Each structure stands twice: as C-alpha cells, then as structure tokens.
Structure 1
Amino acid sequence: MRYKIANSVDELRQSFSLIYESYRHAGLVAEKPSGIRLTPFHLLKSTEVFVTLLEDVVVSTISLAGDGDLGLPLESIYADNVRIIRRRGLKMAEIGSLADRRESPVRFIETFAGMGRLLAQVAMARGYDGLVAATHPKHARLYSRILPFEQIGCEVSCPYANGNPAVMLALVFEDHHGSELYERFFGSLSQSSDTSSQPWSEETRNYFAQFVDHREPAIDGELAAMR
C-alpha cells in the first residue's frame, strides 16, 4: 500500500466517491446523482487530500483543512473552542472526510496509522502547531490510540450529520515533544515521508467545483469513520 497526497483527477474523484459512499452508508448525506461528496473547503489551496492506494485503487482517504479563508470546518459548532485555540497563538489544521472501503477494522487501523503519520508530518511541514477534529464519540478513542488526541469540546448534536453526536478533539504537537509517540511520527523512529506540496491545477479545481453544493453546510467533521 502507498500513502500519498492526491492531486490527479482520478485519485481525487475516487477519494470523493469513497467519501460519498461511506457517508451514504452511515445515513449522513442525501443521495446525489454525481456520487461525489466534497465541501467548499476542498476547493481551498489550504486543503490537502490524502489517499491510501492499493495498486491504483483508493482504499482509504482523509483530508487536511488548514485554518484559512473559511476558518476551520468545525468552527460552526465549536466556535468558542476555536477562539481559545487562536488566543493561545496556535495555528491548527482540521482532519476530516475520513473513509475506508474495507470491512476489516484491523486493516482500517493499520491504514489510519500510516496515513496519520504522513498527515501529521505534512501538517508540521506546513507550519501548523497541531490538529483538531470533530468525530463521533465512539470513534474518539481510535484517534487517541493512533494519535494522542484529547477531547476539548463537549458532546453536541451535530445538525449537519442528521443530529448525530460529535465531540471536538485536539492535538498540539509541542505538548508531546520527546514522547515515544512523537518520535514515532516525527523523530528518528519515523519513516521519512514525501511532504512536498501537490497543488491542484486550475483545471482540476474547476472540474470539482461543479460538484460542490453550496447550499449544504460547509462543516465536514469526521463522524462516519468506519463503515
């Protein structure tokens, strides 16, 4: 399996189709003829899409949205928490749009760990101080197990996921400096990853812009991690 930042139309289309399939399976989105799910955040240059490839097939995906022109996706339900983070002088990026096509939890966890390592290294390379996420409470332990996320937001009913509960998680890299987990992702124990930027072409951005429904809320926190 290969972990990489997607930028080709084929890889991105597979990624957004997989997100749609996962979210439809979980009952979080309405049926769309396009079979594609992406938000306005995906069209920003501060957002990157990560994929796991088995040969040329995308079997898993996750997105990283930087705190840019639209703020953070989860800010619409956790505005106070985001304000506190910014007052600390921290620049964070949000992970979301997580989807996997395999049924095996073991394979999913292995893949999530591999993508998480690349994602964390990319976030640090881009100058972010850490990561945030909005996830279903039952998936919060997975995030804490693979990456040392901590819950900082109380459970809320998310209006953009058919009322499913969500909690906000955060990971500040410097808080874990020197730990075994930090070394695994960033230090001598980590496997060097290709963190170079893979910007979309304008043609690619224009192509996917047609699939964004701007009437939908922009929030796309990870609420349907496992099928």
Structure 2
Amino acid sequence: MNISNTLSKPLLACLPAYVRRKIIRGDLPDFQTDLDGVTFCRASSAEDYISCFRLLHDVYVEAGFIQPSTPPLRIIPHHSDLEAMVLMGCRTDDQGENMPIYTASLFPDNEQGLPMDTGFKRQVDVLRNQGRRLVEVGCLASHPLYRKGDKNIPMLGNRMILLHAMNTLQADDLVITVHPKYLKIYEDILLFEKIGQISSYAYVNNNPAVALRQDLHTWAQRLKKIYGKKPIEKNLHHFLFESGSICNDLPLGEEKKVVEKSYGYDMKHFVINSYLTDMQACLIPG
C-alpha cells in the first residue's frame, strides 16, 4: 500500500475531516520492525556524515528545496552543535557495502536556537516560555528508490527519531517544518499539531512551510486511543512505543569528552570543516 497515493486522491480533500482521517488511518500498511538488509543507527564516522549530507543534498535539489552546491553536501550551521545528531538508515548491497537510504537530524534547543527560528520564532517562543525542552527534526531525506511503497523505511525512521528524542535528548516536544503537501501524513496519521504556516520559507528556497509540534508526554496516549484496537501489524501505537527499541545513548550528564566521542562529534566537525574548506576553494579564482 502506498500512503502517498491514498493521500493524493482528490476525493479526500472534499470529505469531512473525520471521514478523511478514518480512511487514511484504515489504509495504513503492515508495520515491520525489521527489514532484511536494512539497519538504522546514528552517523558516527566521516563516511557516515558525508553519505548522509550527500543524500540530503541530492534529494533537496531534486525537490527544489535548495540549489546545487559544490561539494554536493547539505550542511546547516546547527549541525556543528555538540548535541546535534545525524541519524541514518542503510541498506547492505550485494558487495556488502552500506548504501544510505534515509537520514534525519535532531537539533536540541539551546542558546544557538533552532533552524526553524528563521521562520517560526514567535511560535517556538510560546513553547520555550512554558519551560519545555524542544528538539527540532530536520534535514529529512529518503532515497528515491525507497521513498514509495509501504513507507516502512520512513516509519522506522520515525521510531528511531522518537527513541532518541525521548531517551537521549530528554525532549518534551518534537518540532518540525514540512511542505504543505506532507501535512496530512503528520496531522492525520502521526497526530502532530500545526502551530504555524508561511507561504515562503527562505530555508528551503522560498517554498511554503508548515510548522508542527508533537507533545512527547501525551503522544503515546493519543496514539493508543486511535490505534490501540487495531491488529498489531497496523497498530501505530504498538509499533512506535512497544515493538522494541534501539540502544539508549549516553545521558547528557556524562562528561563532555565522553559525550563528544559518543556523538561522533570529532568526525562531524572534520566533515564540516572539510566542507567549508572546499567551499572557500571554489570561491577563489583558479
């Protein structure tokens, strides 16, 4: 089953919201917690970071979210933050090589702020003023060959994001900006709440964007209310919260040296610094 095909049916937009949601939620795929040859983890080596940033660049260029760059990597200033992490999904090919097919980044809120502050600072400040710890999900990309079909790749990515945000970063809320065409997936299926919308977002080449928020303290309860009585293979609550988990990372209270090693901090900065050096070289006449 292809969720995107279901959401794109013109009739859905004409139906009452409760009818549309019932159809969409009833047409979900069978969730799989393990896919042959596919692994999900945090990026930790220079090769990991380069492959994720290249995948992100290529997907965003294809979507019209950014202009092509040299070298072909999508790196944003917030990637340099100590707590920021890059997550990835890989498929092992016939030669035993890992090919990145999914990536997402998590950016905890701190004095540097969040990437979405460029377009939605007022909305984000409302949550900050409540004393909530925010983590932004950004830099999401799936390889074109694995973007269609039953959506198990992005759903497993969602589970990885949830576990890291809750267990490692101890977040109260996930926040994210998405293109309006993806809004129904986040609102109707994943139960995100819209907190803002703009028609032009400079961060993604002036495309429109919607800001969303997910309260991590109530998410499980709300998912269980909607999906709890469905068969286990279609139970999104069970899939995200009860179907097993990846290993927990080091808590934030560990000493800085240990945390830097855990998060691949040195490798990430090696890649970022190399990228900046290459960019500067491109600006110098040969």
Same fold (TM over 0.5): yes
Counterpart position of 1:153: 196
What runs of 5+ residues in structure 1 fail to find an aligned partner?
A: 216-227
* AA partner of residue 123 (structure 2): N
Matched residue type, 2:82: K
Larger radius of gyration: 2
- 1:137 to 1:212, Cα distance in 2 relative to 1, 3 A: farther
Deviation at 1:130, TM superposition (A): 1.7
| Alignment partner, residue 156 of structure 2 | 114
Which SS does the other structure have where 1:99 is aligned? Answer: strand
| Larger RCO, structure (CA 8 Å, separation 6 or more) | 1
Distance 1:207 1:67 in 2: 23
Q: Rate the CA distance shift 1:146–1:59 in 2: closer, same or farther, 3 A.
A: farther
Partner Cα separation in structure 2 for residue 77 and residue 26 of structure 1: 20
Counterpart code for 2:144: R
CA distance in structure 1 between the partners assigned to 2:220 and 2:90 by the alignment: 30
Alignment of 1:58-207 (within 5 A): 58-103=100-145, 105-107=147-149, 109-125=151-167, 126-145=169-188, 147-179=190-222, 180=224, 181-186=236-241, 189-197=242-250, 198-207=262-271
From 49, 55, 66, the equivalent of 1:29 is 66
Q: Between 72-81 and 202-211, report the one with greater CA deviation.
A: 202-211
**How far off is 1:134 after superposition?**
0.7
CA distance in 2, matches of 1:70, 1:156: 25
Deviation, 1:210, is 3.3
Q: Distance in 1 between matches of 2:149 and 2:75?
A: 25
Note if 1:42 corresponds to 2:79.
yes
Of Structure 1 and Structure 2, the greater helix share is in: 2
Match of 2:50? 13
Tell me by how many angstroms 1:145 deviates.
4.9
Measured in 1, the distance between the counterparts of 2:52 and 2:173 equals: 24
- Alignment partners' CA distance in 1, 2:217 and 2:191: 12
Q: TM-score, normalised by structure 2?
A: 0.68
Q: How many residues align?
A: 212
Q: Do 2:104 and 2:140's aligned partners in 1 also have CA atoms closer than 8 Å?
A: yes
The question of 1:4 aligning with 2:41 is answered: yes
C-alpha deviation, 1:167, in angstroms: 0.7
Whole-angstrom CA distance in 1 between matches of 2:194 and 2:202: 20
**Counterparts of 1:88 and 1:183 in 2: how far apart (Å)?**
30
TM-score of the superposed pair, with normalisation by structure 1: 0.85
| Corresponding position of 1:54 | 91
Q: Which amino acid aligns with 2:243?
A: S
In the alignment, the residues of structure 2 paired with residue 104 and residue 57 of structure 1 have an alpha-carbon distance, to the nearest angstrom, of 12
- Unaligned 5+ runs, structure 2: 1-37, 93-97, 225-235, 251-261, 280-286
What is the CA RMSD across the aligned residues, in angstroms?
2.2
